[in-house]
Every structure is written in structure tokens, then in C-alpha cells.
Amino acid sequence: MIIARTIVDLKEHLYALSEGGRRSIGYVPTMGYLHEGHASLMREAKSHNDITVLSIFVNPTQFGPNEDLDRYPRDEERDLKLADECGINIVFLPAVQEMYPRPSKTSVIVSGLTDRLCGASRPGHFDGVGLVVSKLFHLIKPDRAYFGMKDAQQVAVIQQMVDDLNIDTVIVPCPTVREPDGLALSSRNVYLSAEHRAQAVVLSQSLAQAKTWIEEEATTAGSLLSLVKDRIESVPDAVIDYVELLQYPSLDPLNEHELTHKLESPVLLAMAVKFGTTRLIDNSLYHPSGGV
């Protein structure tokens, strides 16, 4: 496994691995502190491409004031071990100065999709995501890029950016990976106290319950949201940032009086909830056929 810490090294190693003919590149962008969710993306990339690239970069432009940039968990040694076990060919591990040698004067803004959910709670977050992902796509030129559906809004935003800018990369959404009790894997789970870790399973439980509620004839979009919020707030320390039901991937809102069992296109039930100082996100995609 090759570790590249500079753009020059990255390009040289990509060129060397591609000698002898066109070889497909699969790419997994991460901010490190890798877990089984990331490993599932790496294995998926490995199974469908000749060359696999993993990036580990805690991107400062997607963190707002008073967010957890400085305390975001990092463990380079463990990350590299997991990447090696998954068969990654190149790990791109740049410093901030390497990615941003001077203040950026270019923005990549995907309007509409970014003014709700996490975009409303974290102004400017997706502008930073769009900038760094576009930079990484231009450097690596992947045929396919793999993103977890735990952040379904990010997947929709990146897909829109790729379509609008004619970036020649296929975005591959991958299922959310969960703990045995249902909690979605996240690097931020390490912040949870034992008590809050036990309470946080209410997110996946409410999403599972919502599937039953959606299929009930009298359930409207508005009443579904009320039921889900009540379920989450039954846990003592859960503080809701948002719970929303939106069309996917457009992220257009639904009419609150619309009957959920009559939905004709996929809808996303997404939530962000704080337990103590730790903010967790989760979601589920529901299809008209009743599938999830």
C-alpha cells in the first residue's frame, strides 16, 4: 500500500499504477478515524475497480465556528492498518497546507439542496464539502466514488455537483452500516457517554417504526413527523435539531397533509439529534413499494 502525502506524489503513483493501459479507479473520500462503515466502502471499491484510492483529510472548510474541528478524532496508525487490510492501493493523506496552500477564492455552491437539513443547521458546511470533493475528484480522476447513505444529503449534493459540472465520475451510494443494536456507525460515536450511547439507539428505532406508520392509511407527512419526534423525545437527553420528510434526491419538502401510503416517489426521513454535546445524524429512504 502506497502512502502519498503530497499532490505530486499522488499523481506520480497514480500514473505508475496506470501504466500499460487504462485502469479503472475507485475512490473513497474520508476524514479518517475509520470504522466498519468506511471499510464497507473500501471493500466495495476494491471489488469493482483495478485501482483503489482512499483519502484521509479532515477538511477545515466544512467546519463552522465552534464546531469540533480541533477535537475531531484522529488515529492515523489505525486508519492505515484498516486501509491495508481492505486492499487499498493508495492512501492520500495530505496536510491542510497541501490542499489549501493559500486562501481559496473559489466556491462550489450547490443551491437548493443545501439550505435544509444539515445545511440549515451548519451554514457553509456543504460549500466546504463541494470545494474539497471537487478538488479531490480533479486530482484523482476516479471512475467511481463511494459514499455512505448515512449522510444522504451529502450524497444528493455531490451527485448534483457531478451532474452540473459534467465531472466524469459515477457516484456509488452505499448502505448505512450499523451496530448490532441499530446505531449507525459514525466517527463521532466515540464522544458519547455510556448513558447517551444507550439512548442514541432511539434514532434507528424511530426510523424502523416510521416504516410501519408510513404504511398506515391515515398517516400524513405531518402526523408522521409528529410521531417520530415524540418517539425521539421520549428519551431523556435527546435534543432534536431537525426531523424532516423530503422527496429524494431533490430534497423538496412534502405537503404536511399528503398521505404517506400514497407517496409516488422515494422519500427521505432524516434527523439530527444531540445527546449531550454529540450531534448524530441518521436517515432512512422509503420507496412507494414499501421497501426501505
Task: Give me the DSSP letters along 115-165.
Answer: SSTHHHHSTTHHHHHHHHHHHHHHHH--SEEEEEGGGHHHHHHHHHHHHHT
Helix ranges, the chain (H): 7-18, 36-48, 76-85, 96-99, 118-121, 125-140, 152-164, 194-199, 202-215, 221-233
Residue 9 φ/ψ, nearest 5 degrees: -65, -40
* Residue recorded with cell 445524524: 281
Work out the end-to-end distance of the chain between its first and last CA atoms, rounded to an integer number of angstroms: 37
57: Cβ contacts below 8 Å, ≥ 6 apart: 29, 30, 31, 32, 92, 93, 94, 99, 132, 136
If we measure between CA atoms, which residue out of 121, 117, 138, 129 comes closest to residue 25?
A: 138
Q: How far is CA 215 from the centre of its chain?
A: 27
Which residues make beta-bridge pairs with 252? Answer: none
Name the active-site residue from 13, 35, 38, 196. Answer: 38
Q: Which amino acid is at 283?
A: N
Omega before 60 within 30 of 0, i.e. cis: no
> What is residue 26's three-state secondary structure?
strand
Check if 35 is active-site.
Answer: no
Active site residues: 38
